């Protein structure tokens, strides 16, 4: 099959033929129809996230059609349209049995633990646990844009931070996760504030539902947010993972505010010193959130299918598999805008 292959850290991806995937009785082979280019791919490409071995096929934001189902797969068959959750489980550990597949004791992630969506075909283990039906009303492109960025923001805001209508939500970092958070917060009836240093990203955030924007290169973001909200945001989101945005997000909260950590730190920035007295005296909650468990997908997909949520608004580029490597490299200087989707093989 054709695939974009990572042959070394920070080396250009090479598009070439590789062996077709094989499955066991519980797996399924997916013909990939669309795959999103994500900053987590960049983290793996530079070595922040370890992959199984090199050479390797990245890609964890993909959708497609089942090409082959193992003989013991009960819920899916050849020809079914599916989305592949980023956070996968074995279906047997205590966390999986409680519905928290995203923090499975034996977690697996496509594009990191095994070859993913930058190949024309991908083999998914434990298919009955780790596949979700993609409604006909949701296009492959929209499904890929849900990827990890959109569903991560959805699960974090709706299930972890429990955002409510009328609340102020300050989103720090307007990459894919941050822009998704802005759109979801707006759809939930909250009042999103977009924070970034790039004017074009802030303009795009307005199109996705940001009620206000703050350029943190030109303004003191926590001060501006507290003035705007008359006390601070109810919910802050760090969608980048660097110390500056984490601290700005925390310091922009009002008393009893909730901080949602979605951004992943780089290898140079693994530890951030937190203002613990501020957290204690203002009773701030600090919430981590990773991906989204498969059982939570149907509710979100129904909102997409009925037009309540529109992840397709994030898509700014449709690219070929040959262009995927350059798109990942561009993330080094934060030069990407919105979501780029591989749709051409």
Domain boundary among 267, 288, 309: 288
Q: Are residues 274 and 144 in the same domain?
A: no
Q: Are residues 190 and 222 in the same domain?
A: yes
How many domains does the chain contain in total? 2
Q: Are residues 204 and 316 in the same domain?
A: no
Name residues whose C-beta falls within 8 Å of residue 220's C-beta, 6 or more positions apart in sequence: none
Cα dihedral 110/112/116/119 (nearest 10) = 180
Q: Are residues 206 and 273 in the same domain?
A: yes
336: pLDDT strictly greater than 90: no
Q: Are residues 144 and 158 in the same domain?
A: no
267: pLDDT strictly greater than 70: no
| Average of per-residue pLDDT across 104-108 | 92
pLDDT score at 8: 96
pLDDT score at 68: 97
pLDDT score at 118: 98
Q: Are residues 229 and 277 in the same domain?
A: yes
Q: Are residues 75 and 162 in the same domain?
A: no
Phi-psi category of residue 296: left, alpha or beta, with phi > 0 → left and psi -120 to 50 → alpha: alpha
Q: Are residues 163 and 275 in the same domain?
A: yes
Q: Which CATH number characterizes residue 7's domain?
A: 3.90.180.10
Domain that holds residue 221: 150-288
Q: Which CATH number characterizes residue 189's domain?
A: 3.40.50.720
Say what the pTM is: 0.92
pLDDT score at 337: 80
Q: What does the pLDDT look like over 109-168, one tens digit per residue?
A: 999 999 999 999 999 999 999 999 999 999 999 999 998 899 999 999 999 999 999 999
Nearest to 145 by CA among 125, 117, 112, 114: 117
Domain boundary among 260, 288, 316: 288
270: pLDDT strictly greater than 80: no
Domain boundary among 288, 304, 329: 288
CA distance 186 to 192: 6
How far is the CA of 340 from the CAs of 47, 306, 323, in angstroms? Answer: 21, 23, 10
Q: What does the pLDDT look like over 36-78, one tens digit per residue?
A: 999 889 989 999 889 999 999 999 999 999 999 999 999 999 9
pLDDT score at 338: 82
Q: Are residues 110 and 169 in the same domain?
A: no
Burial bucket for residue 259 (CB in 10 Å: 0-12, 13-18, 19+): buried
Nearest to 42 by CA among 145, 112, 121, 143: 112
Q: What does the pLDDT look like over 187-224, one tens digit per residue?
A: 999 999 999 999 999 999 999 999 999 999 999 999 99
Q: What does the pLDDT look like over 79-93, one tens digit per residue?
A: 999 999 988 999 999
| Average of per-residue pLDDT across 172-195 | 96
| 129 neighbors 96 (Cβ within 8 angstroms) | yes
Q: Are residues 300 and 201 in the same domain?
A: no
| 318 neighbors 343 (Cβ within 8 angstroms) | yes
Q: Are residues 283 and 301 in the same domain?
A: no
Q: Are residues 9 and 89 in the same domain?
A: yes
pLDDT score at 264: 85
């Amino acid at each position: 099959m054709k695939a974009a292959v990572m042959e070394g850290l920070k080396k250009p991806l090479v598009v070439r033929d590789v062996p077709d995937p094989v499955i066991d009785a519980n797996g399924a082979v997916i013909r990939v129809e669309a795959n999103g280019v994500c900053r987590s791919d960049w983290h793996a490409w530079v070595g922040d996230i370890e992959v199984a071995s090199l050479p390797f096929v990245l890609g964890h934001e993909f959708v497609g059609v089942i090409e082959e189902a193992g003989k013991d797969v009960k819920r899916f068959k050849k020809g079914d349209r599916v989305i592949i959750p980023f956070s996968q489980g074995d279906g047997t550990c205590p966390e999986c049995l409680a519905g928290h597949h995203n923090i499975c004791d034996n977690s697996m992630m496509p594009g990191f633990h095994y070859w993913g969506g930058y190949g024309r075909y991908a083999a998914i283990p434990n298919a009955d646990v780790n596949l979700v039906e993609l409604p006909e009303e949701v296009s492959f492109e929209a499904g890929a844009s849900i990827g990890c960025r959109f569903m991560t923001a959805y699960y974090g805001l709706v299930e972890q931070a429990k955002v409510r209508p009328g609340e102020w939500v300050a989103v720090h970092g307007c990459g894919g996760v941050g822009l998704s958070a802005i759109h979801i917060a707006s759809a939930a009836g909250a009042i999103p504030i977009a924070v970034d240093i790039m004017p074009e990203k802030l303009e795009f955030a307005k199109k996705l539902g940001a009620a206000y924007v703050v350029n943190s290169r030109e303004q003191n973001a926590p001060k501006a947010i507290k003035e705007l909200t008359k006390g601070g945001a109810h919910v802050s989101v760090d969608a980048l993972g660097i110390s500056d945005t984490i601290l700005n997000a925390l310091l922009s909260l009002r008393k009893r505010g909730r901080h949602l950590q979605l951004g992943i730190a780089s290898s140079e920035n693994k530890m951030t010193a937190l203002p613990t007295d501020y957290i204690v005296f203002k009773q701030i909650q600090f919430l981590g959130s990773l991906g989204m468990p498969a059982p939570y997908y149907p509710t979100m997909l129904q909102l997409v299918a009925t037009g309540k949520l529109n992840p397709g608004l994030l898509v700014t580029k449709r690219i070929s598999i040959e262009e995927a490597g350059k798109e990942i490299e561009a993330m080094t200087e934060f030069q990407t805008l919105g979501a780029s989707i591989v749709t051409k093989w």
